[in-house]
């Protein structure tokens, strides 16, 4: 049984989707939990639903001063950090030929620079606890969908896999583990602009690409994330766990 009693888990992008699910399940498993995000009202609402003692920190992970304050807030409240879940992310869906530099930079700032900054400033605390990092990438980092409507997102998530391996190698001697999860399509706030447009026939055709013939749930992603963050994965580092209902196995 995985437990996090006496440990602290920080989830960026923790107010919605599988970020919130990860925070909620971590709390159920005994962790002290901190969630971070840009929208304070959503953070407070999520924190209230997860538990009265959950720390909510307003932070834009693309801004170094925000990340420094976020990590300091976790230290002030809990005096330790055992697991960092780098979940904050944004997506911009547009064909490459119609994309622009400002949109590309905005995606890279959150999805890639944000992971770099959070790792950089959390590692001192994680070294003290011999803790772990789980970076959230995407199956699109490995197999982009036909149509090329999220090139910047796909590239940023591929970069997350490179950061994951680099951190694992550099900080493994200090006892810090770093792994990545590549989720398949899960219906969350970020993906509803796609799923809400499906006709029943389009939904069924989409599901046929999955051997399990269904989409994943936020809770299923959260459990995979927390496995890697836990002591049950104590000899796993530098790895990428694909959680996609078997879709990539069909390619």
Give the per-residue SS3 of the chain: CCCCCCCEEEEECCCCHHHHHHHHHHHHCCCEEEEEECCHHHHHHHHHHHCCCCEEEECCCCCHHHHHHHHHHHHHHHCCCCEEEECCCCCCCCCHHHCCHHHHHHHHHHHHHHHHHHHHHHHHHHHHHCCEEEEECCHHHCCCCCCCCCHHHHHHHHHHHHHHHHHHHHHHHHCCEEEEEEECCECCCCCHHHHCCCCHHHHHHHHCCCCCCCCECHHHHHHHHHHHHCHHHCCCCCCEEEECCCHHHHC
| 147: CB partners within 8 A, 6+ apart | 95
> What residues contact residue 100 under an 8 Å CB cut-off, 6+ apart?
none
Task: Establish whether 210 is a catalytic residue.
Answer: no
CA distance 49 to 115: 26
What length is written for the chain? Answer: 251
Q: Of residues 153, 225, 237, 242, which has the active-site annotation?
A: 153
Residues with catalytic roles: 153
């Amino acid at each position: 049984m995985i437990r996090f009693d006496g440990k602290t888990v920080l989830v960026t992008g923790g107010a919605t989707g599988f970020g919130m699910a990860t925070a909620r399940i971590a709390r159920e498993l005994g962790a002290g939990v901190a969630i971070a995000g840009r929208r304070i009202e959503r953070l407070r609402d999520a924190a209230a639903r997860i538990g009265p003692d959950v720390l909510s920190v307003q932070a834009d992970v693309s801004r170094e001063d925000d990340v420094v304050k976020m990590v300091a807030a976790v230290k002030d409240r809990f005096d330790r950090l055992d697991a960092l879940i780098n979940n904050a992310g944004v997506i911009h869906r547009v064909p490459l030929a119609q994309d622009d530099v400002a949109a590309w930079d905005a995606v890279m700032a959150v999805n890639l620079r944000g992971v770099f900054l959070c790792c950089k400033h959390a590692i001192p605390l994680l070294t003290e606890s011999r803790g772990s990092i789980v970076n959230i990438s995407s199956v699109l980092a490995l197999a982009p969908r036909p149509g090329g409507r999220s090139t910047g997102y796909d590239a940023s998530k591929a970069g997350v896999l490179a950061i994951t391996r680099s951190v694992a190698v550099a900080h493994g001697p200090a006892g810090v583990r770093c792994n990545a999860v590549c989720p398949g399509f899960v219906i969350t706030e970020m993906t509803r602009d796609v799923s809400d447009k499906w006709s029943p026939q389009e939904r069924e055709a989409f599901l046929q690409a999955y051997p399990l013939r269904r989409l994943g749930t936020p809770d299923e992603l959260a459990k995979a994330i927390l496995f890697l963050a836990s002591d049950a994965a104590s000899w796993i580092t530098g790895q990428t766990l694909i959680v996609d209902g078997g879709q990539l196995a069909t390619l």
